[in-house]
Structures are given as C-alpha cells and as structure tokens.
Amino acid sequence: MNKALIVLRHEFLTMVTKPSFWIGLIVLPVFMGGIMAISLLGGGAATAATIASKQNVTIAQGYIDQSGLITQLPRGTALTAYKDEAAAAAALQSGQIIGYFLVPPDYIERGVVTYVSPEFSPINSPTGVFEHILRYNLVNGDETALARVESTLVIQEQVALAPKDTAGGSGFPFPLVPMFAGILFMIVMLTASSYLMQTVTTEKESRVMEVLMSSVSPMQLLVGKIAGMGLVGFIQMALWLISSVSALNLIPAASGLGAISTSAIIVMVVYFILGYFIYASLMAGLGALMPGSREAGQYTFFILLPLIAPMYVISAIVLEPNGPLAVILSLFPLSAPVVMVMRVTATDVPFIEILAGAMLMVITVVLVVTLVSRLFRAQSLLRGTKPSLKEIALALK
C-alpha cells in the first residue's frame, strides 16, 4: 500500500504542476461564468432600458380614454388627452401628434385598444409606452406594484403534488440545476479518466510501464494512478461547483436559485468517487490493452457511452426524476454517477434507492479494478500490437 501512495503522489503532483491544468481549471469556469453574468446582467439592463424608454417619450402622441381608466400618467410621459375622436383626428391632421390611442368603454372586459396613425412601424412602435401607462393606472399609480407587474417571473421552488416524494427538496429551480449538475459531473469524470488513459498509453509507448511493473504490483500501480487522478478530478469538481454557486449568489438576477442541501452534497461526493473509480479503471484498462493513444482513442466512445447516454434523455429525467427511466438509470452502475446526481438536485430521492445505487457501484468498482489489474499484469500488454480477444480472455483469468 505504501507503493500505491507513492504512485498516487507522483500522479497528483505531475498533473497539478502542469500549467495547462490550471489554465483549464480557471479559464473554463471564468469563461462560462462570464457568459452567464453577461446574459443575466444584460437582460437586467435591457429591462431597465425598456422601462426607461417607456417613461421618457419625446414623440408627440395622444389618447382618448372612453373607459375612464386613465386618471394619471407616470413620470416622464407626455401624452395629450383628447375628449373625442374628432379632436384627436384634427390634431393628427394638423401635425400636432403623429398618432393616438383609443381606449374603448369595455377595455377592462376585453383588453382591446385601437391605435391610429398615418404610418405605423412595428420596429418603432409606441404601443409599449401606452401599455406602461395602462398598467400604471391599473395598479392605481403604485410604483412598487408596477415594477412587480413588469418584472420577469422567477420560480424559486417547484413542488409536485404527485407523486408525493417529487417535491423540490434542493431548493433549486427546476430543471436548470439538475441539468447543470449532470453535465458538470460528466465533464469532470470524462476529463479525469481521459487523463489517466493518456498517462497509461504514454508510459506503454515509452516503456516506462515495464520498469514500474518490476517494482510495483499491478493492483498497487492501478490503485495509485486512479486515486491520484481522482484526487485531481475531485479538486477540479469542488472548485467548479463552489465557484459556480458563489457566482450565482452574487448575481441579483439569480438570487432565486437557492442553496443545495447538505444531504445532496454528500450523495454527489460519494457517487462522484465511485463513478470515477469505475470509469478511470475502464479507461486505464483500455489504455493498457491498446498499443498507443491513437488506437485507444478509437474505442473511447464505447467505454464512455453509458455515461453520455443519459444526456440524450436528460429532459425526461429532470421532468420526471422519480419516474421508471430515471430510477433504472440511477441504479445502473455505469449511468448512476450522472443520473443520481440529477435526481438528488431535482427532487427527494428515497434513501433505499440511493443506498442500492451506491452498493451496486461499489460491487462494480471491486470487479472492474480487479479485472483491470490483471490486464496490467498480462505480458500481452507490453507488446506493440493490439491483443486478440483470446489474449484478453487469458489475461483476465
């Protein structure tokens, strides 16, 4: 075990001392956070500009209120009231105004307003200004109520009535965060396991593995490599997750996103560790079988397919997190790391399902690590050609 710790330390330090690792670790979340911040802040600025444009009218407009609704105008507006259509039409004809609105007596019941103008352009339409005036009078001039009416709706929590256990326990909006969590976990596991496969293939090509195998047992070598790269992946995931949540909390437009529960965090950590051990072992085994990184890359998709497949049905999973499809995929060890994380961030998952999924993954980890360590021990791994199916079967015995 002491030799496994030495391998762990070597793999960890080799990765974290690379400038490319820190560039990827920092640049990606900053880039994604910048895009999200620009979108949210830009949306807020656009909303503010729209409201400001409604409150500052420089083009002369008129209106006829037959409903008696309009009793006051918001600050900054300058529409002229006319007693009837004849007076408004005369003002339009003489050029005093460029258009006027007609509010019929049954506006409250029907919500229909007529706009009269010689020329009408939908690009430079004054209808938004008059809509703002109508809303201002509908709330009786209450600026706070008006701001609430014209603001974007933010859903802080969604609670489903059936089945009962699908209440939004994490406090996040649905389904944004389950999607984000699933994609984040998939990216981190793919990145860390791919690094491990590249390390194994590189050591094979340079014949460093032959030297290592002479002083370290296959199990110690494999466990040390997986644990070292897993520690790197865990740090990467933790930094990305913490920075994402912190950034969202600092953006006012995202203040309704809430906070993730402690139990969900524990589940995420456990499933990440188990899922990483499974896929890192499989990728290491693939790297050990193939003579080089180019050949190994041709088969990577088939190894990672169970991890990527849930992304194709992600909408079905997050819309029904306790449905049959989500439950089956969260219990299947190869898709559980992503699907279970999406479920616990979307709903309250029964503890028995979380425990069952974790136990199945533990069994899979033991089985996969044992088989891959045998591949490391096999002499066929040191050849420069692809092993046959018969050689692989013999190596696994």
287-323 residue pLDDT tens? 777 766 677 677 788 888 888 888 888 888 878 888 8
pLDDT at 382: 47
Asked if residue 40 has pLDDT above 60, the reply is no
Using N-to-C axis directions, what is the helix angle for 351-377 and 324-331, rounded to 10°? 40
Whether omega before 337 lies within 30 degrees of 0, making that bond cis, reads no
- Per DSSP, the three-state class of 62 is strand
Q: Please report, for the chain, the start and end positions of each structural domain, with discontinuous segments joined by +.
A: 2-33+160-396, 51-150
pLDDT at 251: 54
Residue 368 pLDDT class (50, 70, 90 cuts): confident
Average pLDDT score over the chain = 74
Distance CA(5)–CA(20), nearest Å, equals 24
62: which strand partners? 80, 100
Asked if residue 169 has pLDDT above 80, the reply is no
Closest CA to 222 of 257, 254, 196, 260: 196
63: which strand partners? 81, 101
65: which strand partners? 103
Asked if residue 173 has pLDDT above 70, the reply is no
Q: How far apart are the first and last CA of the chain?
A: 23
Residues contacting 242, CB < 8 A, separation 6+: none
CB atoms within 10 A of CB 128: 11
Any idea which of 20-24, 31-35, 278-282 has the lowest mean pLDDT? 31-35
User: Per residue in 205-241, pLDDT tens?
Assistant: 666 766 676 677 777 777 787 788 778 777 777 777 6
Instruction: Tell me what the mean pLDDT of segment 23-52 comes to.
Output: 57
On the CB side of 175, CA atoms within 13 Å amount to 16
Asked if residue 126 has pLDDT above 90, the reply is no
Instruction: Tell me what the mean pLDDT of segment 248-256 comes to.
Output: 52
pLDDT at 250: 58
Instruction: Tell me if 296 sits within 8 A of 290, measured CB to CB.
Output: yes
Pairing of strands 114-116, 100-103: antiparallel
Any idea which of 81-90, 136-145, 196-205 has the lowest mean pLDDT? 196-205
Distance CA(207)–CA(39), nearest Å, equals 50
pLDDT at 176: 60
**What type of residue sits at position 287?**
G
Instruction: Tell me what the mean pLDDT of segment 186-212 comes to.
Output: 72
Residue 24 pLDDT class (50, 70, 90 cuts): low
Instruction: Tell me if 36 sits within 8 A of 28, measured CB to CB.
Output: no
Q: Is the pTM of this model over 0.85?
A: no
Distance CA(81)–CA(390), nearest Å, equals 92
Strand order in the sheet with 114-116: 80-81, 62-65, 100-103, 114-116
Closest CA to 230 of 181, 267, 193: 193
pLDDT at 103: 92
Instruction: Tell me what the mean pLDDT of segment 79-93 comes to.
Output: 90
pLDDT at 388: 59
Residue 352 pLDDT class (50, 70, 90 cuts): very high
The beta-strand segments (E) located in the chain are: 62-65, 80-81, 100-103, 114-116
Please indicate whether residue 360 or residue 370 has the higher confidence score (pLDDT). Answer: 360
The CATH homologous superfamily for domain 51-150 is Periplasmic binding protein-like II (3.40.190.10)
Residues contacting 150, CB < 8 A, separation 6+: 47, 51, 132, 135
Instruction: Tell me what the mean pLDDT of segment 187-193 comes to.
Output: 74
Residue 167 pLDDT class (50, 70, 90 cuts): very low
Any idea which of 51-60, 201-210, 288-297, 362-371 has the lowest mean pLDDT? 51-60
Whether omega before 126 lies within 30 degrees of 0, making that bond cis, reads no
Asked if residue 122 has pLDDT above 70, the reply is no
User: Sign of torsion, CA 132 138 143 148?
Assistant: negative
| Residue pointed to by tokens 């507006």 | 77
Instruction: Tell me what the mean pLDDT of segment 44-70 comes to.
Output: 65
User: Per residue in 142-157, pLDDT tens?
Assistant: 888 887 777 655 554 5
Instruction: Tell me what the mean pLDDT of segment 51-66 comes to.
Output: 65
pLDDT at 394: 58
pLDDT at 387: 59
Any idea which of 77-81, 202-206, 251-255 has the lowest mean pLDDT? 251-255
Instruction: Tell me if 251 sits within 8 A of 37, measured CB to CB.
Output: yes
